């Protein structure tokens, strides 16, 4: 099969990341040709500041050297600028006459520095700060001259000023606005940052408008080059070097000359759709700073990488990904000072603010809220929780439950030894970060810098840190954010890939299974272009669950894609034996069942018999070969204590026996467990029913907790009694038994349909918000009924493989108990 021709204009970070993603998906689909205006391979533009400061060298910031292009069969024309796109003949033409034909064209021309129309801007010694050539010119000037002026006190301007100051120059920063970094910081944080920089020798002239750049006179060292900066108010300062860092503009001139639509009004750029195709010509794609997407042009690396990922998906003909825009953050470290900002921190009439301002201690935090959700944040000095705030903001999580300690960080602890400094930044390189794999901080930082890593998944792949138990993930994320600064962007839980076998998120996979009615794992992997032929232990169980939960009775359950506990219908123990938990509805049993359990324990010499926390009897230490015979002799269904499913419904004795009981909790527990038996779910689900507010069944820490009150029942959801105990949240109050069943089932079905595999209900509700759940389950009666009916439909034909001898006698015995009590 003849390969299609893909030509890419531009050789920057966004474009090459797109090619890297494309080569993962479809390495043999295209003959690829790249034109780059600079005479280099692809390098990390973000690390130009450390090069200017003398902390790194140019070879250390190369992401893809010339050998990478050669090894991947890519033709690179370095140092050749494209001057024309011929859309009729489908070819591009460079300034030296070099031509290349294309079937698909990828435009990644980036941005150009904005230099205001200041008289004298063409003088020698006046530079922008954008590429390797600019950086080398600034290093050369710093070795020969003394006075530097940086016009613009934004992120790039301060980094340039800091680098030149470290090179020994006397640096003055001139800024038109009233405070520095006004797009990233509020006034209070900016004033603190300015004071810190001034203490280190940097000078500032704010609210100053440049009138002209002055040419040197008779001095042979500066004759004919810039020698000063004159202001509108008549003042003037010396300048042997002027660096203009007044912003960037999308570089769309080439695309516009080819007739591609490049927007109108304030935001110009190559207009693209959510598939990163230009809206003028579907054969032409565009990514990076040259793009305008939904009226926004991005200047940070993280959104551009997201664009590249989506673009590669469509160039590979998968057609699944969509780029819907990005929420961005800014992280800056200048001379040891940490600054972080994200979102809309300007506030407004419909917002609230939580502020901590300790000027003497060098710490400032401002969190802006709207409807109990973070919409913006500014941190100075203590930025350790910036990634956490950013994640909460991206995921739109309701922070009402943690509002009172939100300001004090994710761990509710400060590190007194570092006075609010980023914990990761303060750690020595020798400090161990990942105990599971023995990875220290220095190893992680070195990998990030040398291999150009930008995501947690990249760090896991190259260092193994955070790839085992995951407890160090937050710390690794801090190290990543601290190392790459503005390139870092937290990944929303909506966007995280299922595993290394695919680039698709859990949401993408569920949508594809639903939209294309996929019924088998091979069909799903084929349609979604899985990277590995058979998947892995992470994705196969997830795919299997999504298939059978989306298409019950149609999708075929694959037992080999279940964990060993679900295959064996028992819990594997650390010594290789198994434990069996027979089903006891609501924790109730009969003398006949107890005799059978005792007989089985003696017959198979089961060493341990224990009552579980869920009010069941656990038989521990059973050999695998004995499992079928144990279940046969028990004559009882499995209790599902092994599965991602309904586990148990714990009950108190309720009004059936207890003098304090207000409702019949045992009967309710039996009804709930009977209704839900056979329900598979993203993770284990535990319920409890308490007959009165004394809550003896611990309903307040269950996935669904039901508490009897005089007038009916209160329902609580999303509790968790695990490693980190989470109190369940109040959902609603109902009056009848039937309503308890309907509301509980509707919540669990919503979780089954929207929860990600291995996501507990507590994390699901944190992700989508309790208000979302209430709208779907409590406020919308029609939707609640539909959810309830879908759950009943899913479990209606479930039969337990070990329950053939379990006739109606046990159920009748339990019901007889209730009827006797009622009488």
Residue numbers in the known binding site for siroheme are 696
Q: How far is CA 285 from CA 32, 215, 274, in A?
A: 14, 44, 11
Q: Is residue 226 packed enough to be buried (19+ CB in 10 Å), middle (13-18) or exposed (0-12)?
A: buried
Residue 404 is classified by DSSP as: G
Task: Give the number of other CB atoms < 10 A from CB of residue 799.
Answer: 9
Q: How far is CA 364 from CA 192, 347, 354, 511, in A?
A: 8, 16, 11, 42
Q: Which long-range contacts (CB under 8 A, 24 or more apart) does 176-181 make?
A: 176/207, 176/208, 176/209, 177/153, 177/206, 177/207, 178/206, 178/207, 179/206, 180/153, 180/154, 180/204, 180/206, 181/153, 181/154, 181/155, 181/332, 181/339
Tokens standing for 571?
Answer: 């819990």
Q: Are 655 and 665 within 8 A, CB to CB?
A: yes
Residue 2 is classified by DSSP as: P
- Closest alpha carbon to 693 in 749, 639, 655, 736: 655
Q: Are 49 and 163 within 8 A, CB to CB?
A: yes
Reading across the β-sheet that carries 712-717, which strands appear in turn?
646-651, 685-690, 704-709, 712-717, 729-734
Q: Is residue 823 packed enough to be buried (19+ CB in 10 Å), middle (13-18) or exposed (0-12)?
A: exposed
Within 13 Å and on the Cβ side, how many CA atoms surround 472? Answer: 25
Tokens standing for 588?
Answer: 């109730």
Residues 155 and 341: their CA atoms lie apart, in Å, by: 12
Helix (H, G, I), strand (E, B) or coil at 735: coil
Residues 622 and 639: their CA atoms lie apart, in Å, by: 16
The string of DSSP letters for 217-256 reads -S-TTTBTSEEEEEETTS-EEE-SEEEE-S-EEE--HHHH
Q: Are 175 and 206 within 8 A, CB to CB?
A: yes
Q: Is residue 124 packed enough to be buried (19+ CB in 10 Å), middle (13-18) or exposed (0-12)?
A: middle
Residue 638 backbone dihedrals phi, psi, to 5 degrees: -70, 150
Residues 186 and 353: their CA atoms lie apart, in Å, by: 13
Work out the angle at residue 168's Cα, subtended by the Cα atoms of residues 162 and 172, and round it to the nearest 5 degrees. Answer: 50
Helix (H, G, I), strand (E, B) or coil at 657: helix
Which residue positions form the known binding site for [4Fe-4S] cluster? 652, 658, 692, 696
Which residue positions form the known binding site? 652, 658, 692, 696
Tokens standing for 83?
Answer: 């001057």
Residues 370 and 353: their CA atoms lie apart, in Å, by: 9
Tokens standing for 178?
Answer: 């009233």
Tokens standing for 508?
Answer: 């993408």
Q: Are 174 and 154 within 8 A, CB to CB?
A: no
Residue 775 is classified by DSSP as: I
């Amino acid at each position: 099969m003849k390969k299609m021709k893909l030509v890419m204009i531009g050789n920057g970070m966004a474009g090459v990341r797109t090619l890297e993603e494309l080569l993962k998906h479809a390495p043999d689909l295209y003959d690829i040709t790249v034109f780059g205006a600079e005479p280099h391979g692809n390098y990390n533009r973000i690390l130009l500041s450390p090069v200017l400061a003398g902390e790194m060298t140019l070879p250390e910031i190369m992401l893809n050297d010339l050998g990478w292009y050669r090894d991947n069969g890519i033709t690179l024309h370095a140092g050749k600028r494209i001057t024309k796109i011929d859309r009729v003949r489908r070819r591009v033409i460079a300034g030296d006459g070099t031509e290349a034909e294309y079937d698909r064209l990828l435009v990644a021309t980036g941005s150009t520095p904005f230099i205001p129309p200041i008289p004298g801007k063409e003088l020698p010694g006046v530079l922008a700060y954008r590429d390797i050539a600019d950086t080398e010119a600034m290093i050369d000037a710093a070795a020969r001259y003394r006075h530097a002026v940086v016009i613009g006190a934004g992120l790039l301007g301060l980094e340039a000023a800091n680098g030149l100051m470290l090179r020994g120059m006397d640096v003055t920063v001139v800024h038109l606005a009233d405070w520095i970094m006004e797009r990233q910081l509020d006034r209070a944080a900016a004033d603190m940052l300015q004071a810190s920089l001034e203490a280190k020798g940097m000078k500032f002239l704010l609210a100053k408008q440049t009138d002209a750049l002055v040419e040197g006179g008779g001095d042979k060292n500066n004759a004919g080059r810039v020698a000063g900066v004159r202001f509108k108010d008549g003042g003037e300062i010396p300048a042997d070097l002027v660096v203009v860092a007044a912003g960037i503009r999308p570089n769309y001139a080439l695309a516009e000359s080819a007739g591609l639509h490049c927007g109108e009004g304030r935001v110009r750029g190559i207009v693209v759709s959510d598939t990163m195709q230009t809206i003028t010509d579907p054969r032409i794609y565009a990514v990076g700073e040259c793009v305008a997407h939904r009226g926004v042009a991005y200047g940070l690396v993280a959104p551009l990488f997201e664009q590249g990922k989506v673009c590669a998906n469509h160039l590979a003909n998968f057609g699944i990904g969509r780029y819907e825009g990005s929420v961005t953050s800014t992280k800056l470290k200048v001379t040891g000072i940490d600054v972080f900002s994200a979102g809309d921190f300007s506030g407004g009439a419909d917002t609230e603010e939580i502020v901590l301002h300790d000027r003497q201690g060098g710490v400032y935090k401002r969190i802006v809220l709207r409807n109990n959700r973070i919409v913006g944040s500014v941190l100075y000095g203590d930025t350790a929780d910036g990634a956490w705030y950013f994640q909460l903001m991206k995921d739109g999580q309701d922070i009402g439950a943690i509002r009172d300690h939100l300001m004090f960080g994710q761990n509710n602890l400060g590190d007194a030894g570092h006075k609010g400094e980023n914990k990761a930044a303060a750690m020595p390189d020798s400090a161990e970060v990942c105990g599971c794999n023995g990875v220290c901080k220095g190893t992680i930082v070195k990998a990030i810098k040398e291999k150009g890593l930008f995501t947690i998944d990249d760090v896991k792949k190259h260092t193994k840190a955070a790839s085992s138990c995951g407890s160090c993930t937050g710390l690794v994320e801090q190290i990543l954010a601290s190392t790459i600064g503005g390139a870092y962007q937290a990944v929303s839980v909506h966007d995280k890939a299922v595993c290394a076998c695919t680039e698709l998120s859990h949401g993408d996979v569920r949508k594809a299974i639903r939209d294309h009615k996929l019924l088998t794992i091979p069909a799903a992997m084929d349609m979604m272009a899985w990277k590995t032929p058979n998947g892995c232990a992470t994705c196969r169980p997830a795919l299997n669950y999504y298939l059978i939960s989306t298409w019950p009775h149609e999708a075929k359950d694959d037992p080999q894609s279940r964990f060993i506990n679900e295959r064996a219908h028992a819990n594997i123990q650390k010594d290789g034996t198994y434990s069996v938990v027979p089903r006891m509805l609501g924790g109730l049993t009969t003398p006949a069942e107890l005799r059978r359990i005792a007989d089985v324990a003696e017959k198979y010499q089961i060493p341990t018999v224990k009552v579980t926390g869920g009010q069941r009897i656990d038989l521990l230490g059973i050999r695998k070969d004995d499992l079928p015979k144990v279940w046969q002799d028990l004559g009882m269904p499995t209790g599902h204590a092994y599965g991602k499913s309904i586990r148990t419904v714990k009950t108190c004795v309720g009004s059936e026996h207890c003098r304090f009981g207000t409702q019949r909790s045992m009967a309710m527990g039996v009804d709930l467990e009977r209704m839900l038996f056979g329900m598979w779910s993203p993770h284990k689900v535990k319920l409890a029913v308490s007959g009165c507010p004394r809550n003896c069944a611990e309903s307040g820490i269950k996935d669904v907790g039901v508490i009897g009150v005089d007038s009916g029942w209160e329902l609580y959801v999303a509790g968790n009694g695990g490693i980190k105990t989470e109190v369940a949240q109040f959902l609603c109050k109902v009056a009848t038994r039937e309503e308890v069943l309907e509301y509980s089932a509707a919540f669990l079905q919503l979780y089954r349909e929207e929860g990600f595999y291995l996501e507990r209900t507590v994390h699901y509700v944190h992700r989508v918000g309790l208000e979302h759940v209430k709208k779907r389950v409590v406020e919308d009666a029609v939707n609640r009924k539909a959810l309830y009916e879908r759950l009943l439909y899913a479990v209606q034909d479930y039969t337990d493989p070990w329950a053939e001898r379990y006739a109606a006698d046990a159920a009748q015995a339990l019901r007889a108990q209730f009827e006797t009590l009622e009488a």
